[in-house]
Amino acid sequence: MSRKTALHGAHVALGAKMGEFAGYDMPLYYGLGVKKEHEWVRASCGIFDVSHMGQISVKGAEGETDAVEFFEKITPSAFSKLGINRTKYTVLTNDQGGIIDDLMVTKTGDNEFHCVINAGCKEKDIQWIKSHLTSGLEFTYFEDWSLIALQGEKAEDVVRDVLGKDLSDVPYMGLWYEDYTMFISRLGYTGEDGFEISVPNKDAEALWNKLLEHDAVEPIGLAARDSLRLEMGYCLYGHDIDASTTPREADLSWVMGKNNDGFIGADKVVDPARKRVGVKLTGKGVAREGAEIRTTDDEVIGTLTSGGFSPTLGMSIGQGYVPVEYAQEGTELLINVRGRNIEAEVAKMPFVPAKTKSAKAVKTA
Amino acid sequence: MAELKFTKDHECIYVDGDIAYVGISEHARDALGDLVFVELPEVGKAVEKGGDVAVVESVKTAAEVYSPVDGEVVEVNEPMVDDLELIAKPVNEDGWIVKVKVADASALSDLMDEAAYAEYLKEVD
């Protein structure tokens, strides 16, 4: 039996095509269809139910720094200088330097953090985090909370119109919250400006329906969420990154804090022999996950870990791992689809420019 | 109106003499959503009943198109590669993907007619 989010009934009522994702019965697409949903998010504002993702927090005592030290142990990032209510994208590493999950970590206080983790990794992550907790740290799993993503250039207007809140001063990767009944983070998985709104399950459907009433808003399923994130070159856990890929192989070195060499598996995160790259098809066709990456001499050098058609570019794009000598932008490759080689090349990611608000655009009060 | 036949895999077929025009049904088009690519076989390719003869790709997925009969591909719809809208045309006009020369006409007997296919869709839905 698939699990259901608090918004399951709302999706069914909207006539969504449902399908299983990470053990949940989730909307894959609604009436517009995948391509139009994708385009709607790029032009206006879409809402996504991402309540299947896990929300957790780790808190230490005030005046201490043990929660900061904990996150610098379980992730390769640096958190001591991160501002309050600011978020970092990072990864949990295992003792081989492999990626257990990728996650968003928000510093909600000097010694407390809130995280959003992948649906398919919840149990594993929670067990891992709990088993590494040092004494004095308090762990909470917000099992009864929903998460609604609001993505697109009109997201700020929608929040103003529907919720009566002016969030124009909230920077990219910043958090705003109210009375512990609603948390709004300015971030997302589409490359658009937008927010993720966390509310208790009991408030989720009313919020979802209120947002939907706005003319600029359409509901968007997981299929378009995937094509949107692929255009940004974002990783999908279990596909583009997993326990066998290190942050450096995954081209996520930027999440690593300069002075953090004490994280779990740090000694195994060495100069990589292969690297995650973006691939675009210059020949005709569509290449999906699992397609072989070959050199122009037809030698197999890797596999696409994600792939599909980019509605924005009108061409097929993907990601995959290749030996570092083939990782240079513009390197010509072949992608083998059902026995046919299609011309391709290593492409810079994101494939489509991000429109997220600058992290630096903080208005000083 | 041309008599159209259907397979359980949602191919739509028009038979003219010993040539089968193979396309996909409206139901298949709706299920696939926006098409982005059609992969055609080589003319002259020998095909088996139930074997792959072409692939249609949508934003969502790739779907194999199966040959309804044993035979040989005698023509492929090249213009469709650049004009995917053609797939929505009737299969006996510009909506066919490949034309297959039928080796044994008796293989066509288990195809459904429109009424039987409509019934079949009710069952599988």
A19 neighbors A218 (Cβ within 8 angstroms): no
Question: Does B115 reside within a domain?
Answer: no
Q: Write out chain A residues lying below 8 Å of B60, CB-based.
A: 28-29, 34, 223
Nearest residue, CB atoms, A338 vs list B33, B34, B55:
B55
Point out the domain boundary residue: A126, A141, A156. A141
Q: Examine residue B125 and state whether it is found in any structural domain, yes or no.
A: no
Considering only alpha carbons, which residue of chain B is nearest residue A312?
A: B59
Percentage of the residues of chain A whose pLDDT score is greater than 70 = 98
- CATH code of the domain in which B56 resides: 2.40.50.100
Alpha-carbon distances, residue A230 vs A168, A225, A234, A312 (angstroms) = 27, 9, 6, 11
User: Residue type for A161, please?
Assistant: D
Task: Report if residue B120 sits inside a domain.
Answer: no
The answer to whether residue B98 sits within a structural domain is yes
Domain count, chain A: 2
The answer to whether residue A267 sits within a structural domain is: no
Is B23 domain-assigned?
A: yes
Residue B1 has pLDDT above 70, yes or no: no
User: Is the residue at B91 inside a domain?
Assistant: yes
Domain extent, residue B98, equals 4-104
Tell me whether residue A196 is exposed, middle or buried, using C-beta atoms within 10 angstroms of its C-beta: 0 to 12, 13 to 18, 19 or more: buried
Owning domain of residue A100? 54-141
Q: Assess if residue B22 is contained within a domain.
A: yes
**B39 part of a folded domain:** yes
Cβ-based contacts of B40 with chain A (< 8 Å): none
Q: What percent of chain B has pLDDT over 90?
A: 84
Residues of B in contact with A308 (CB under 8 A): 59
Query: What pLDDT is recorded for position B33?
Result: 87
Which residue among A115, A141, A167 closes a domain?
Answer: A141
- Whether residues A286 and B60 touch (CB distance < 8 A) is answered with no
CB spacing of A284 vs B60 below 8 angstroms: no
Nearest residue of A to residue B42 by CA position? Answer: A340
Residue A154 falls inside a structural domain: no
Mean pLDDT computed over B25-44 = 94
pLDDT digits (tens, 9 = 90+) for A158-213: 999 999 999 999 999 999 988 789 999 999 999 999 999 999 999 999 999 999 99
Q: Give the pLDDT band of residue A360 (cuts 50, 70, 90).
A: very low
ipTM of predicted complex:
0.81
Q: Any idea what the CATH number is for the domain that residue A306 is in?
A: 2.40.30.110
Residue A298 is assigned to a structural domain of this protein = yes
Q: Is the residue at A281 inside a domain?
A: yes
In a domain, A262, yes or no: no
Kindly tell me if the per-residue pLDDT of A256 is higher than 50.
yes
Tell me how many domains chain B contains: 1
Alpha carbon of A275: minimum distance to chain B alpha carbons (Å): 27
Whether the Cβ atoms of residue B9 and residue B66 lie closer than 8 Å to each other:
yes
From B55's Cα to the closest Cα of chain A, the distance in A is 10
Residues of B whose CB is below 8 A from A223: 59-60
Q: How far apart are CA A70 and CA A78, in angstroms?
A: 11
Q: How far apart are CA A210 and CA A287, in angstroms?
A: 39
